[in-house]
Amino acid sequence: MVLPLLGFGQEVYRWVDEKGTVHFVDDLSLVPEKYREQVQKKRPPEKPTSLPSPGGSEELESKGKSESAPERKDLLGCGEEWWRAKVKEWNDKFVSAQKNFDATYTEWKAKERELEESKFKPDSFKRKLKAEINVLEEKLKGWEQKREEAKNMLEKALPKQAQDYRADPDWLKPKE
């Protein structure tokens, strides 16, 4: 059974924040000022409609109808392409953060080795190396945070959003 989230005919405003979280409200004044330019306004149908069943296209074929099934959408009107693009975006962010983390880690390890081997070098040289190591450690923390954010989006947030908006969970999986 499909329960409506809002009254029929009521306008819905959608926006995405800087973390990629999708928000919906029925009052434009509730949208933060900095997101108002990107707001998408949607007016639900005047009468209730049910979501297509997961086996919708097979049902049409079994009834002998030759027309193709309409593209399936979630409660917000987003289809498979939109959800796959979101997954790709966050997967790309994860891969990028991982590559940057690995490169920074390699650089950090090299500086650590250089510091260990600088026993007979001037103190000013050692202080410079220590400062560079500290900068690299901060970069590592930043890349680790970005990597964890992307991982969280892929493993928890997007699946939760898909469930909340009744998107097909297969839309979040790679195509075979």
pLDDT of residue 1: 37
Determine contact, residues 170/79, Cβ cutoff 8 Å: no
Do 90 and 152 lie in one domain? The reply is yes
Ramachandran angles phi, psi of 73, nearest 5°: -135, 160
Do 98 and 157 lie in one domain? The reply is yes
Domain, as residue range, for 158: 80-162
Do 84 and 40 lie in one domain? The reply is no
Q: How far apart are CA 13 and CA 28, in angstroms?
A: 7
Q: How far apart are CA 152 and CA 143, in angstroms?
A: 14
Say if 39 falls within a structural domain: yes
Do 18 and 84 lie in one domain? The reply is no
Say if 112 falls within a structural domain: yes
Do 97 and 157 lie in one domain? The reply is yes
Do 24 and 96 lie in one domain? The reply is no
Q: Domain total for the chain? A: 2
Q: Which run of H or E residues covers position 42?
A: strand 40-42
CB atoms within 10 A of CB 71: 9
Say if 171 falls within a structural domain: no
pLDDT one digit per residue (tens) for the chain, 176 residues: 333 444 445 677 787 888 878 877 777 778 888 877 887 777 655 444 444 444 444 443 444 444 566 788 988 889 889 999 999 999 999 999 999 999 999 999 999 999 999 989 999 999 999 999 999 999 999 999 999 999 999 999 999 999 999 999 889 988 77
Do 37 and 86 lie in one domain? The reply is no
In the chain, where does DSSP find H-type helix? 56-62, 80-116, 123-152, 158-164
Do 37 and 91 lie in one domain? The reply is no
